[in-house]
Structure 1
Amino acid sequence: MSVDPAPSSKAQTGRFDITVWGARGTLPGSGTSQTAFGTETCCVEMRIDGHRLVFDAGTGIVPLGRAILTEGASSVDLFFSHTHYDHIVGFPFFPPLYRAGCGITVSAGHMLDGRSCEEIVSDYMRAPFLPITPKIFAADVDYRTFAAGEALFPHPGITIRTARLNHPNGAVGFRVEHGGRVAAYVTDTEHRPGQPDEGVLGLFADADVVFYDTSYCDSEMTKCRGYGHSTWQEGIRLARAAGTRRLVLYHHAHTRDDADLAAIEAEAKDIFPGAVAARTGMTFSLIGPDGPEADHVDGD
């Protein structure tokens, strides 16, 4: 699938490419009925002028890690939206962690109990849950803890704005700004009907691409209230209110098969033409080698 949205009027520079490595939530998918949209859990890569930003470390981060080593890259900035299992289960198996000479920065800001990012990782990677600890890593790993709402500056020319999300145990959404283009990663958040979250609207505002938690449909929310997730209809309401160009339906419920997701995508497109359901392997170029005319999305 290739779609060319209207060019943005914003000033542009360099490259800004996005790849989906995992789009499922809660559990990986399984079986042939889920292959079109992919079975891996949450992981999105943004490559900006040679810098690699990775959001979440679900099972999708494992094939990403293999690709990084094959490419010969040596630097990664990893950001956790939060540390529920579906978002970190791939972290101990991320191949660059075991390659000397790799530099990996791991950042988190969702914690509500005062623990640091390094403490969270150490608590996860220990017996009896795993037979290894972070001490086994050969890479140079730098852990950073930030406060939700804080702006981050991982590299010159890249700004990441953050906001607290409504999710059990806390979660953080990210807005990546570079060269006049904006991509937001807003997953694992529960909306309040008729009360748009101002922090979430700020992440969406005039964005070129937003990955949004669309685990449910509006009709399912009554029985799912309190789980910490949202709907594709709410994503459209937010995108319209905030002037978002493209809405990526993300964090697919592990129970949905390809037919379910294709039907949801079609209905969403009828209402908001800029909607698309995330698929493993889907790529976006916000700024290509020739500038804004390279703006496109490639999927299946």
Structure 2
Amino acid sequence: MEISPSSEFVVQFWGVRGSVPSPGKDTVRYGGNTSCVEMHVGGKRLIFDGGTGLRMLGKSLEPLQPIEAYWFFTHYHWDHIQGVPFFIPAFAEGNTLHIHGSAPEGATMQEHFCDRVLHINSPVPFKEIQADLKYYDLVCGETMMLDDITIETGRLNHPNGAMGYRVSWQGHSAFYCTDTEHFPDRPDENVLRLGRDADLIIYDAMYTDEEYHNQKTPKVGWGHSTWQEGVKAAKETGAKRLAIFHHEPNHSDDFLDTVEVEVKDTFDGGFLAREGMIVSLT
């Protein structure tokens, strides 16, 4: 999709699956690629995470080159970086990629991206990257401005840490809330703050409540939430729409169809994210 006009705020899903890619006949409708979301905000292109969905985003951008994009990482587990070595715009001269994130303690974002995200795991030599890469170290909890776009950050409850992003522009907002696990005894104050009155919350709802609390294979402490908790968060924050995201790799299309019916029955603005889906907030 070409970048939207400067008067629009549009979200497109390129990868909606969690943990590991899950291609196959049972995941065709929702998609099997891992986390990657694109936002077109006021004439700028924002990219969130670099899972395997990033490859398809890169292919769509190839005929539009040269491009400029602002790239934000929640964290660096494999399902959020696997697509980075296969992102076509990174290998074309004339493109500019502004890379944002919070690196592990002791490293800058540039060191972390070059030495760990790309160097160790990439089959492609780093010298092949021809785009102009610019790096920005974010402090979780702080707010940054991108011209007239406000980007707020907050810590999410996930093993090794993760950062949520709220993007606000001209009275519209989207909260990218993955990967996170709800607290059993209280609301997550960061989720409430970043999700307040949002037009859209993209929420990590990898499990159902039944799966999360299953006595034989409980998911407590794994760093992910449930669709029921996502609905609760949407209602608590006053959000208009809720995108259930980061689908469990073993959840088939039929299973997710059933979940979507339940989500819509409990929250009017709720739906399940699908690869290729476009949501306009203006």
Same fold (TM > 0.5): yes
Distance 1:165 1:48 in 2: 24
Q: 1:278: how far off?
A: 0.2
Note the 1:1-300 alignment, pairs <5 A: 14-109=7-102, 111-121=103-113, 122-127=115-120, 129-154=121-146, 156-222=147-213, 223-287=218-282
The one-letter code matched in structure 2 to 1:55 is F
The superposition leaves residues 112-131 of structure 1 with CA deviations (integer Å, 9 ceiling, x where unpaired) of 5232222222223235x434
8 Å contact 1:118–1:143 — kept in the other structure? yes
8 Å contact 1:21–1:280 — kept in the other structure? yes
Number of residues paired by the alignment?
Answer: 272
1:180 to 1:164, Cα distance in 2 relative to 1, 3 A: same
Q: 1:73: how far off?
A: 4.5
Secondary structure at the residue paired with 2:140?
coil
The superposition leaves residues 215-262 of structure 1 with CA deviations (integer Å, 9 ceiling, x where unpaired) of 011122231111110111111111111100000000000110001111
8 Å contact 2:49–2:74 — kept in the other structure? yes
The superposition leaves residues 84-131 of structure 1 with CA deviations (integer Å, 9 ceiling, x where unpaired) of 00001001111110010100011112x45232222222223235x434
Unmatched tracts of structure 1, length 5 or more: 1-12, 288-300
8 Å contact 1:191–1:234 — kept in the other structure? yes
Secondary structure at the residue paired with 2:14?
strand
Structure with the greater relative contact order (CA < 8 A, sep ≥ 6): 1 or 2? 1
1:4 aligns to what? none
1:294 aligns to what? none
Secondary structure at the residue paired with 1:45?
strand
The superposition leaves residues 66-93 of structure 1 with CA deviations (integer Å, 9 ceiling, x where unpaired) of 1112123410111001110000100111
Distance 2:190 2:122 in 1: 36
What RMSD over aligned residues (CA atoms) do the two structures have, in Å?
1.3
Distance 1:22 1:108 in 2: 19
The one-letter code matched in structure 2 to 1:206 is D
8 Å contact 1:175–1:182 — kept in the other structure? yes
Distance 2:104 2:190 in 1: 17
Secondary structure at the residue paired with 1:152?
strand
Distance 1:120 1:219 in 2: 38
8 Å contact 2:81–2:117 — kept in the other structure? no
Q: Answer with 218-227 or 129-138: which moved more.
A: 129-138
Secondary structure at the residue paired with 2:26?
helix
8 Å contact 2:16–2:273 — kept in the other structure? yes
Identity %: 41
Distance 2:126 2:198 in 1: 36
Unmatched tracts of structure 2, length 5 or more: 1-5
Q: Which runs of 4+ in 1 moved over 6 A?
A: none
Distance 1:231 1:62 in 2: 27
Give the TM-score normalised by structure 2.
Answer: 0.93
